[in-house]
Amino acid sequence: MSNDRVGFSQPQPEPDRQALGERLKEAREYMGLKQEDVAKVLGIPRSALSNIEAGVRKVDAIELARLAKLYQRPVAWFTGEDPEATSEVAKEVAHVARAAATLSQQDRQELARFADFLKSRAKAKATPDGR
């Protein structure tokens, strides 16, 4: 049977909504989550999440905020409004932040100390006398 019958055809996704859906799918897959898991967090059917990712279903502001929090990315990254959020540096920083989120508090503190060390070392290299 074809889905082209009256009442069964899928609406065509709008380009902006489709781009949003692609970013949402990319972030979900990057985090290693299944549609079923994300749908449970949002309290929607898996098919609704599938339609969001396909650009067919609209995502409301509350759902988008929850997805951004779950995927640990700014809302502006999903909407394409923040070109800095898609820069290479931002991607690297986001990756480090996601990795750090899985560490113990003690390990996160050690990571912060190491970051401070790297900053001070970079400053020392930038000064003419090396201090």
Query: Please, are residues 59 and 67 in contact by the beta-carbon 8 Å criterion?
Result: yes
Residue 2 counted as domain residue: no
> What 3-state DSSP class applies to 55?
coil
User: Is residue 4, in this structure, part of any structural domain at all?
Assistant: no
Answer whether residue 3 is part of any domain.
Answer: no
What is the reported pLDDT for 3? 47
Domain stops at, among 82, 103, 118? 82
Q: Does one domain contain both 64 and 24?
A: yes
**Residue 45, phi then psi, degrees to nearest 5:** -65, 150
Structure token digits, residue 32: 């290693």
Looking at the structure, do residues 42 and 106 belong to the same domain, yes or no?
no
In the chain, how many domains are there? Answer: 2
The rounded distance, in Å, linking the Cα atoms of 122 and 114 is: 12
Enclosing domain of residue 39? 9-82
Quick one: 35 and 55 in the same domain? Answer: yes
Bin 32: left if φ > 0, else alpha if -120 < ψ < 50, else beta. left
Of the candidates 13, 35, 23, 38, which has an alpha carbon nearest to the alpha carbon of residue 75? Answer: 23
Q: Do 126 and 101 share a structural domain?
A: yes
With beta carbons less than 8 A apart as the criterion, state whether 25 and 53 touch: yes
**What pLDDT does 11 receive?**
57
Q: What is the pLDDT along the chain (131 residues), one digit of tens a residue?
A: 444 455 555 556 688 899 999 999 999 998 889 999 999 999 999 999 999 999 999 999 999 999 999 998 889 888 888 655 555 666 677 777 788 888 899 998 998 899 888 888 887 777 666 55
Helix, strand or coil for residue 12? coil
